[in-house]
Amino acid sequence: MKFLSYKKKFFFVDKISIEKLSKKFKSPYYCYSLSQIKLNLDNFKNLFNKSSPLICFSVKSNSNIKILNELKKEGCGADVVSMGELSAALKSGIKPSKIVFSGVGKTEEELLFAIKKNILLINIESESEAILLNKISQKISKKIFVGIRLNPNVNSGNIRKISTGLNDDKFGLTEKNFLNLFKKVNNYKNLTLQCISVHIGSQILKINPFKNTLNVLEKIINKTNFQFKYIDFGGGIGIPYENKNNKFDLRKYSNLVEKFALKHRCKIILEPGRFIIGNAGILVTKITYIKKTKNKDFIILDAGMNDLIRPALYNARHSIVPSKKNNTNYKKNIEFVGPICETSDKFLNVKKYQHIKEKDFLLILDVGAYGMSLASNYCFRPKPAEILISKSNIKVIRKKEKINKLIMNN
When binding is defined by CB under 6 A, the residue of 14, 70, 79, 85 that contacts ligand LLP is: 79
- From residue 135 to residue 154, what is the string marking binding to ligand LLP with x (rule CB under 6 A)? --------------------
Minimum Å gap between C-beta 158 and ligand LLP is: 9
Q: Which is nearer to ligand LLP, 31 or 369 (CB)?
A: 369
Q: What is the dihedral of CA 347, 348, 353, 355, to 10 degrees?
A: 30
- Verify whether residue 341 is a known catalytic residue: yes
Identified binder of ligand LLP from the candidate list 203, 213, 254, 285, rule CB under 6 A: 203
Of 11-19, 42-50, 196-204, 380-388, which segment contacts ligand LLP by CB under 6 A? 196-204
Comparing CB distances to ligand LLP, the nearer of 209 and 322 is: 209
Question: What is the C-alpha separation between 207 and 217, in angstroms, rounded?
Answer: 15
How many other CB atoms are there within 10 angstroms of residue 258's CB atom?
17
Regarding 237 and contact with ligand LLP (CB under 6 A), the answer is: yes
Of residues 37-56, those binding ligand LLP (CB under 6 A) = none
Nearest to 76 by CA among 98, 51, 46, 60: 98
How many positions of this chain bind ligand LLP (CB under 6 A)? 23
Q: Is 125 in the site for ligand LLP (CB under 6 A)?
A: no
Using CB under 6 A, pick the residue from 199, 346, 381, 398 that binds ligand LLP.
199
Residue 348 Cβ, how far from ligand LLP at the closest point, in Å? Answer: 16
- Write out 384-403 in H/E/C secondary structure: CEEEEEECCEEEEEECCCCH
State which of residues 77, 272, 311, 368 lies at the interface with ligand LLP (CB under 6 A): 272
Report the SS3 class of residue 239: coil
| By CB under 6 A, residue 248 contacts ligand LLP | no
> Beta 191-197 vs 121-124: how paired, if at all?
unpaired
Contact present, 165 and 210 (Cβ < 8 Å): no
3-class DSSP assignment, residue 16: strand
Q: Does position 366 bind ligand LLP by CB under 6 A?
A: no
- What is the rounded CA–CA span in Å between residue 156 and residue 30? 30
Sign of the torsion angle spanned by Cα atoms 388, 15, 11, 301? negative
Sheet holding 4-7, edge to edge: 4-7, 10-13, 16-17
Torsion sign over Cα 76, 77, 79, 85: positive
Residue 368 touches ligand LLP, criterion: CB under 6 A:
no
Catalytic residue, candidates 31, 56, 76, 341? 341
Q: Is 106 in the site for ligand LLP (CB under 6 A)?
A: no
Q: In this structure, how many other beta carbons lie within 10 angstroms of the beta carbon of residue 229? A: 15
Taking CB under 6 A as the criterion, the residue among 162, 280, 303, 320 binding ligand LLP is 162
Question: Site residues (CB under 6 A) for ligand LLP?
Answer: 58, 60-61, 79, 102, 162, 199, 202-203, 234-237, 271-275, 310, 314, 369-370, 374
Active site residues: 341
